[in-house]
Structure 1
């Protein structure tokens, strides 16, 4: 197992350069422009909804492309790459193991619910029948 003791330098907006902040602001503006254009042309019957939706998707892709060129975007891409690498290391259970484990969990839930139901009935009878009758 590979463990790193040192803490990696975080890239947040305080550490980002002016160019990165400008790129992030531009990405947000492009996305907002796509959403506003979708809403603006919603009453225009000459532009179909599918064209407006494609416009929003293009704005989203453009905004993600702009944001990906920043230091924060590079860190996100690196994180996603490392996550994908780690996912390849996972040993997934077989169908048979999954079904057996699910069956065991269902049986345990049923047994515990019955046990809690019996305890509830016993406590109800103790409180309502014995303790309240002693007080009257």
Structure 2
């Protein structure tokens, strides 16, 4: 039996209100960024305006059901990333070298086939008809 409780898939009206508020805060940040650009404000102030709006909007959205699911997904992804065995530098360099050699060999082979087909078609078959 599953030990995790089933979560409802629906979004409550409170969550919808929070998401609308997050979108409005983000829109206000964009409007503020544009307004400050029109009046000639310094660009660091404009950047701070948009960054603050994005942070506040994400903070509001994080306390909704979709936000909690996203946080849970990110936490599980981070846990799974700890299980990954990454190749060493030496393995990476050797694998990259093999791939480069294979690409060069295949490109030479395809070039030779292309040259051979061109030679047969253009130099021999088409001259027979003329």
User: Which of 111, 115, 122 is the matching residue for 1:121?
Assistant: 115
Distance in 1 between residues matched to 2:50 and 2:13, nearest whole Å: 27
Does 2:42 match 1:75?
A: no
Normalising by structure 2, we get a TM-score of 0.91
Normalising by structure 1, we get a TM-score of 0.87
Report the counterpart of residue 86 of structure 1 in structure 2: 80
Distance in 2 between residues matched to 1:10 and 1:128, nearest whole Å: 68
Summarize deviations over 1:49-81 as a string: whole Å, max 9, x none: 211211111111100000000000000000000
Distance in 2 between residues matched to 1:128 and 1:42, nearest whole Å: 62
Summarize deviations over 1:2-22 as a string: whole Å, max 9, x none: xx9xxx8684xxx21111111
For structure 2, list consecutive stretches of 5 or more residues without a partner in the other structure.
none
Distance in 2 between residues matched to 1:114 and 1:9, nearest whole Å: 57
How many Å apart are 1:83 and its aligned residue? 0.5
Aligned ranges 1:45-56 → 2 under 5 Å: 45=40, 47-56=41-50
Runs of 4+ residues over 6 Å off in structure 1:
none
Q: How many residues align?
A: 126
Aligned ranges 1:1-136 → 2 under 5 Å: 11=9, 15-45=10-40, 47-136=41-130
Change (3 A) 1:10 1:115: farther
Distance in 2 between residues matched to 1:88 and 1:135, nearest whole Å: 68
Q: RMSD value over aligned CA atoms?
A: 1.7
For structure 1, list consecutive stretches of 5 or more residues without a partner in the other structure.
none
Distance in 1 between residues matched to 2:8 and 2:98, nearest whole Å: 44
Distance in 1 between residues matched to 2:36 and 2:109, nearest whole Å: 61
Distance in 2 between residues matched to 1:10 and 1:104, nearest whole Å: 50
Deviates more, 1:126-135 or 1:88-97: 126-135
